[in-house]
Structure 1
């Protein structure tokens, strides 16, 4: 009489395949200059990036976090983004200014 040890094998396969379904971190090329493609920018913000991820994606845009002091100059070229953060420190929205 043969005994098959299928359960551990099946569990190992299920765990391996389940790990494949996890979303891979988005890696995209940095966007040089200021924000001109608002559709792509809004889609990026919708992913709730961290400030570090923002800096990696938009290195030329000044990110202003809550509580950060800045000058009162008005910028009309989308070069400074005033971010709103959730309690985990991720960017959930904001405005250019």
Structure 2
């Protein structure tokens, strides 16, 4: 019994020392500055040219109602609507959505025809 009491502290000291291996320097080495190179200038990309029939995206909520009504009159698909008005939330029939009132025309509840094209709807 006495021998085990003497060996316990010795074992714990050895276990602690075994975990003190080479963990690296005890100081933080000074950072060496990286060699500087001339900044790379990206090539200027040409301005995107809208393809005939492809709508130019209108960002933000709808403010020009005449242009929006003209776009809806073309009976766009949901994908075309999302491409033309990426910031307006399109709610299709059968989609789950809350019915809170938005006065900024940022959410459009669409009505679809049998082919899946948008024929009308309303902002809410």
Q: CA deviation at 1:27?
A: 1.4
1:84 corresponds in structure 2 to: 111
Q: Structure 1 residue runs of 4+, over 2 Å off?
A: none
Rounded Cα–Cα distance in structure 2 between residues aligned with 1:81 and 1:53:
14
Match of 2:62 among 11, 14, 35: 35
Which structure 1 segments of 5+ residues have no match? 1-23
Rounded Cα–Cα distance in structure 2 between residues aligned with 1:90 and 1:28:
16
RMSD: 1.3
**Which TM-score applies when normalising by structure 2?**
0.57
Match of 2:101 among 74, 80, 95: 74
Which structure has greater helix proportion? 1
Q: Number of matched residues?
A: 74
Q: Relative contact order: is structure 1 or structure 2 higher (C-alpha 8 Å, sep ≥ 6)?
A: 1
DSSP-derived class of the 1:47 partner: coil
Bigger radius of gyration among the two = 2
